[in-house]
Amino acid sequence: MRELPGPAHAPALVLLHGWTAPSDLTWFRCYEALGQVFRVVAIDQRGHGRGIRSAERFRLDDCADDVAALVDVLGLRRHRPVIALGYSLGGCVAQLTWRRHPEAVDGLVLCSTSRSFAETDDERRYFAALGGLGLAARLTPGPLRRRLARRVVDRRVIDCELREWMLEELHRNDATALLQAGHALGRFDSRPWSHEIDVPTAVVVTTADRQVRPARQRALAASIPGATIHPVDGGHDACVSAPERFVPAALDACHSVAVRVGASSAAR
């Protein structure tokens, strides 16, 4: 877990990373800017990086429960509002945290994410195949599991001077949990209930995203009453590859939610 104290009584941001990319890898270009304005708490989710290792199958519901437990243990809501900032898979966890533990979060910022990731036949086959690999990985020797996982993660590494560090961070992941997490992502579907989200919400849309189509990101925003849209000219890796565009949009989204959370608290 990584923490930045931020200004006294500033809202707390709980940062939730994407699939395969632990917190530092997802947020390292964002920490400084976010930490100047908010208290920041970033965790590695189950099976990712330094996150919880469990013999149980990876479930997004468990990740949401972990967020609620973290908020409680750290006492984050005693003196400040809490905003869940989720990227891709982390956006699913943020939505589920609101649904399962509405007392844990006062607002949501959802980045490069959607209500559903498996809507076409090809997508359903892809995510279903990850589930099969996850089952096989339990019975597969460690070196082979790492090679299987590398097929998934290596193509997502940006070719830059940080490549070796990025690969090292990725290889901290538990291979079996990684594959199971992909399968769980394919099963996620908030379309039946996203319209019920009743906390201030902002959606950061990566407009050149080839992994989560911008139309799906905008559909997520449209489904949530009062959600604001904050576009970024970048792909699914914009948080790392285009921080000069992503960070201002993320800050704007967080400010938008924080102001509305504050107004809501004052009204109560």
Name the β-bridge partners of 84: 14, 108
Please check whether residue 40 is in contact with residue 254, taking contact to mean a CB–CB distance below 8 angstroms. no
The full DSSP string for 16-45 is E--TT--HHHHHTTTHHHHHTTSEEEEEPP
The CATH fold assigned to 2-116+190-267 is: Rossmann fold (3.40.50)
Q: Are 42 and 1 in contact (CB under 8 A)?
A: yes
- Reduce the DSSP state of residue 101 to 3 states and report it: coil
Question: 138 φ, ψ to 5°?
Answer: -65, -25
Q: What is the pLDDT along the chain (268 residues), one digit of tens a residue?
A: 899 999 988 999 999 999 988 999 999 999 999 999 999 999 999 989 888 888 788 899 999 999 999 999 999 998 899 999 999 999 999 999 999 999 999 999 999 999 999 888 888 888 877 765 544 455 445 565 455 455 544 555 555 667 777 777 777 888 788 888 998 999 999 999 999 999 999 999 999 999 999 999 999 999 999 999 999 999 999 999 999 999 999 999 999 999 999 876 654 5
Ranges of each domain in the chain: 2-116+190-267
> For the whole prediction, is pTM greater than 0.85?
yes
